[in-house]
Amino acid sequence: MRAEEAAPEGSGPEMSDRPRRSTLGRIVVALPLILFAGLAGLLLFRLFAGDPTVVPSALIGREVPEFDLPGLSGLERGGEQVPGFDSAELKGNGVTLVNVWASWCVPCRDEHPLVEQLAKDDRFRVFGMNYKDTPDNARRFLGHYGNPYEKVGVDEKGRVGIDWGVYGVPETFVVDNEGRIAFKHVGPLSQQSIAERLMPAIEKARAGTPDS
């Protein structure tokens, strides 16, 4: 009998490849789980190790996206319509705070007195971006709580907010004199966040240094 005929059943190249194929298959099956665990771990680290009100944005240091927001219909100051604003308005006019708010947003009511305080500071302007709201409700909100905004732009469909990377409301952006987004604060402002984060970011923007 020849040697190849005497080889035991199940031996040969095909059998030697089976452990390797089996290991590769287990890796392929486990890969999505490994990736998911890694992403979940990164999310938890950022949630508990960092400041949840400061969300990294790819737009920091870049010019605001092109937009043109109409004014809030029927909103007047001194008998004149409060205007909306566009991207060109944010260039060459000093530092501007853009506060994203809505009448249906409960935290917006909590932070509103602080926005009114900020509006009294003549080192920067305060604009409002009314987000996914109705004109009647937005006007009632400002009629009840006061209008601290020099200009109010209406983002009824939320499309401009998407371009700005808005996660929700309220959010506050610092835009420098060159029309670049210098800082982003997520969630309602507080005395602490204004003192520790917002005002230093404003000073950096006034000096021409976007916050990181």
98-133, pLDDT tens digit by residue?
A: 999 999 999 999 999 999 999 999 999 999 999 999
CA dihedral 87, 91, 94, 96 (to 10 degrees): 20
C-alpha–C-alpha distance, residues 9 and 17, integer Å: 15
Mean pLDDT value across residues 131-140? 98
Per-residue confidence (pLDDT) for residue 4, from 0 to 100: 46
pLDDT of residue 107: 98
pLDDT tens per residue, range 171-197: 999 999 999 999 999 999 999 999 999
- Position 103, amino acid: S
Give the pLDDT band of residue 156 (cuts 50, 70, 90): very high
Identify the sign of the CA torsion 127, 146, 54, 193: positive
Residue of 34 and 138 predicted with greater confidence: 138
Rounded to the nearest 5°, which phi and psi values hold at 147?
-110, 100
E strands within 44-170? 68-69, 76-77, 80-81, 85-86, 96-101, 125-131, 151-155
Strand, helix or coil for residue 171: strand
Task: Give CA–CA dist 206/42, Å, rounded.
Answer: 33
Contact 191, 166 (CB under 8 A): no
Residue 46 pLDDT exceeds 90: no
